Amino acid sequence: MSKFRNKSNNLTTFEKQVLQAVRKIPRGKITTYRFLAKAIGRPKAVRAVAKALGKNPCLIKVPCHRVVRSDGQIGGYKLGVGKKIFLLKKEGIKFRRVNQIDKPNKYLFKF
């Protein structure tokens, strides 16, 4: 038995697919909830995808802060939007206003 408690991720197949896809997003890049939904073959399950991110068990392996809204706004974050913005800035993402990414298209990661 590991000393480290295994946060037994009771994740469904769908949720795993979502998290797996997010892991591919490199530092300094972002994607949107919509693209992410498409990427896993469920273009209409956008909200379900967003919800799945809320269950993200490991913020290191699954950088869900790199998933933002289609309009370039930040979107939500389980640990607070402020934290999300902080992380994105740290990775080189520029903001035009607090809460609004400058030229989101520039950073978009294509699956």
Partner DNA sequence: CCTGGGGCAGCCG
Partner DNA sequence: ACGGCTGCCCCAG
Site residues for DNA per CB under 7 A: 10, 12-15, 32-34, 42, 44-48, 50-56, 64, 67, 69-71, 75-78
Closest CB to DNA among 71 and 102? 71
Give the integer Cα–Cα distance in Å for 26 and 28: 6
Catalytic: which of 36, 62, 64, 74? 64
Shortest Cβ 94–DNA spacing (Å): 19
Rounded (10°) CA dihedral 84, 42, 23, 50: 20
- Tokens standing for 61? 């392996």
* AA identity, residue 58: C
Q: Is position 64 annotated as part of the catalytic site? A: yes
Catalytic residue list: 64
